[in-house]
Structure 1
C-alpha cells in the first residue's frame, strides 16, 4: 500500500455551517473549537455555524475559522486510527499541515492566522488589487500574457492549482489587461475573482514582514511527519526553515500542482482533503489524470464523509 496524504484547503472554501455536525458528534472536535474561541477571543462555533456570512468572509475571521474546522476534523480522523504519511495545504491550509505535523501548537496557529488575515487585508487598500482565474492555458503562454500586461502595473502568477487552472494577482488594471492578453494567447476563459485583496503577489510583501515579527514570538517544534511547502513545492528541511517559508508564502506563488506531483513521485496513492469544500479534490483529480497509478481521493467535511473515510481506510 502507498502513502496517505492529508491535504488542507485555503481561503475561499468557507461556508456558514462548516464543522457543525462534526462538533455535535465528536468531543475531540468540540474541544478544538473551544480552544480556538479562547485563542482568538470570540465564539468560533457561533461564527462557523451561524455566521453571518459577511463576518465569516472577512479575511481575519475566515483564516482562523477554516483552520479550526480543518484541525477539528483531522484530529477526529487521527483518533479513529488514520494517520498521514505526508501533509500539505493550499496557502492558509499549510498552517493546518504544520499543526498536524506537530510543528505549531494549534492555539498559536489559530491566533497567528487571525493576524495573518488582518495583515494581508491591510497590505493593499480595498479596490487597488484583484485576482483572476485563467483557465485552459499553459504556464509558458501565461507568462507571455503577464509580461505584456506589466506596463499597466503589478501582475503575477499567484496559484498554480492544476493543469489548465492558474490564478493571477496584482493591481486591478494590470490584472484586467493580463486577462485580455491571456484570451488573445489562447486561454479558454479569464475570470476576475470576488476577492478582497491581491493575495500571493509582491504587493503583499509588507504583510509578510509583519507576519515575521509574530512568528518570532511563537515556539516552532520538530516535525513528526513531512510537510511540503507552497513556496518551493519541497519538504521543509527542519524547524529552522518554517519562519522563512511562511513569510515567503504570503507574497509568492502557491505551487499546488507541483506539490501534488511531488507527493505522487514519493509514493502517495491516497489523498484525503480535510475541511470545507472539495476544491483540492478537484485539482488533484486533474493533476493525477496523467498518473498511471491508481489514486484514491477522499474528502472530509461532515459526519457522513468522515465516517466514509474511516470505514474505507481506518486500521482500528
Structure 2
C-alpha cells in the first residue's frame, strides 16, 4: 500500500507511534503501540479501515461521530480511508502557549485550532489533565468556538491554570477533546497535548561591594556595603525577598522585600553589614527567595573578597 507514498510527518501521541504518508491525494497512517495492546480514541472520518502486516483488513466503525482505533500492538498496521479535512484540523490542534512558570499565580493557557473544512464549524474545546496533577488548579475547562472556512481560532484567556508548589517541573500532559458541529453532523476529535512548566526566570547578582567610611580604620567596627540587583527575565510579574547574613557571626538575617517586579525589570537592594576588620567573617551569605514560587539563589562573598574591600 505504501509503494509510491511520500512520508509527510510523525504524529506520535499517547504511547502510539504514528507516521503519516501521502499517496495520490490519499492519507495513510502507519501506526503501532509502544506499550502493549492499546487503543487510540481519534476520529478521522467514517470510512476508516485497518490493514495489518499480513494483509488482513477490517473496518473501524464510528458511533455518534467518534472512532476508537482498537487492537493496536507492537506490530505496525496501516489505517486508510482518512478524511483529509479532519486530519488537517486534528493536526492543527495545539497549545499556543508553550510553557507556564512554576509560580503559584493564575496564568492563561491558550489553545488553537484551524478549520480545514470548506464550511463553518462550531463547537467546544475541553481540556483534561492527568489525575496526578491534582494540585494544578484550573479555571474553566471548556471553551466554545465558531470558525469560518480556512480560518483559525484561539481560546484567548478562556483557560487559566494555577500551579501548586507541589507540582513537578517538566511536562504537563493534557488531552484536548473537541466537539465539532457541521451541517454534515457532529464528531469528536481527541488529541494528547503537552505543556512545559518551567522555573521562574529570576536572577540575583552582586553589583558593588564597598567599605563604608568610618572608625574601623582606627580599629573600631566597620561596615561592608553590598549592593545587589534582582532581574525578572520571565513573562510574569514577580515578587521576591533578598536576604543577607554573616555566616559565622550572629545569624541575624537582613531582608529587603521586592513586592512587585514586572517582566524585564530590575530592582536593587542594599545591605550594610557590620564587620570587625580584626576578625573577618569566613563569608557573607546573600540569598534570593521568590514569593509565590520556587526560585532560590545563593551568593557567597568569601573572606578574601572581604579583606580586599578593607584594604582598598
TM above 0.5: no
Greater Cα radius of gyration, structure 1 or 2: 2
TM-score by length of 2: 0.20
TM-score by length of 1: 0.20
Q: Which structure has the highest strand share of the two?
A: 2
Q: Which structure has the highest helix share of the two?
A: 1
Q: RCO higher in 1 or 2 (8 Å CA, sep ≥ 6)?
A: 1
